Amino acid sequence: MVSPIDIQKALKGMDYPATKEQILEHAKGGGKDVLDALQKIDDREYEGPSGVSAAVFD
């Protein structure tokens, strides 16, 4: 199970706004659970890490 902290760690240093594709590319080092969770977010542009977390956990 992935936690919001895992997501935030994987997105550290990410430049926003960012697309789903850019987020997935940046988070590759975060591990399989993080990538699996991020695969499920909507394919759109995100303004910041809180928006990404909201998309994962809502």
pLDDT digits (tens, 9 = 90+) for 1-58: 899 999 999 999 999 999 999 999 999 999 999 999 999 999 999 999 999 999 999 8
Handedness of CA 4, 58, 34, 11 (dihedral sign): negative
Q: What residue spans of 1-58 are helical by DSSP H?
A: 4-10, 20-26, 32-39, 49-57
* Domain span including residue 40: 4-57
Asked if residues 51 and 23 have their Cβ atoms less than 8 Å apart, the reply is: no
Q: In whole angstroms, what is the distance from residue 12 CA to residue 47 CA?
A: 14
Task: Output the pLDDT for position 58.
Answer: 85
- Give this prediction's pTM: 0.94
Task: Output the pLDDT for position 39.
Answer: 98
> How far out from the chain centre does Cα 15 lie?
12
Strand partners for 18: 46
When divided into structural domains, the chain yields a total of 1
